Amino acid sequence: MPVEGLSDGVVRLRLGADSDVARLTAIVQDRDVTRWTTIPAGQTETGTREWLQRGMAGMATGSDLALVITDARSDAPLGTIGLHEINRATERAVAGYVLARESRGKGLGRRALALICAFAFRDLRLARVEVTVEPENIASRATAESVGFREEGLVRSYMRIAGQRRDMVMYGLLPGDLRP
């Protein structure tokens, strides 16, 4: 990961910092975030700080890459994005993303997802990136599809969110599918 992060001039993906904790905690308080993700309702600043630390530990082992999405000019945090379950043997990873409510609907999630997927293919030499999305999460599905992810099917009872097992739509992206 470059020290300066990844940028397309509009958004920048970078490592998290202590100064981001309050803003990131506020972002994940949104009911839509806790509805569609594994982030628990009532996330505290301590929980956010622990998430950042887990991300750093995952980077050290090569299993995860947890980044903050920021405005490229102001460096203000807009959300988070990451590659998880990075597996060099199978050349695959799972992407996940969250945007602040006021940052949604502007193409910023699409830009961030395209940046991290390009990095995954070019620098990590992965052959596949996956995204799993609840069938009803139309906005997240549209974000994945706009980058070139292809719907591959419904995975029943795939993960636990807010205490309930949920079905997820599996999306896959191969290097030739990516729309930068």
Beta bridge partners, 139, equal: none
Is residue 29 predicted with pLDDT exceeding 80?
A: no
Q: Tell me how far CA of residue 140 lies from CA of 66, 116, 149, 169, in angstroms.
A: 18, 16, 11, 11
Residue 53 confidence (pLDDT): 86
d(CA 99, CA 30): 10
The DSSP bridge pattern shows strands 128-133 and 164-173 to be antiparallel
Q: What is the pLDDT of residues 7-22, one digit of tens each?
A: 999 999 999 988 998 8
Single-letter amino acid code for the residue at 127: A
Domain boundaries, the chain: 6-126
Asked if residues 99 and 69 have their Cβ atoms less than 8 Å apart, the reply is yes
Q: What is the pLDDT of residues 115-170, one digit of tens each?
A: 999 999 999 999 999 999 999 899 999 999 999 999 999 999 998 887 889 899 99
Report CA 6 to chain centroid distance, whole Å: 14
**Averaged pLDDT, 23-39:** 72
Residue 45 confidence (pLDDT): 82
Is residue 177 predicted with pLDDT exceeding 90?
A: yes
Give the CATH number of domain 6-126. 3.40.630.30
d(CA 71, CA 176): 28
d(CA 152, CA 113): 18
d(CA 143, CA 107): 8
Token pair 């009872």 in the structure block, residue: 157
Q: Encode burial over 120-129: b for 16+ CB neighbours within 10 A, e otherwise.
A: bbeebebebb
Side-chain-facing half-sphere of 56: CA atoms under 13 Å: 10
d(CA 37, CA 102): 18
pTM: 0.91
Token duo for residue 178: 């990516």
Is residue 44 predicted with pLDDT exceeding 70?
A: yes
d(CA 174, CA 117): 9
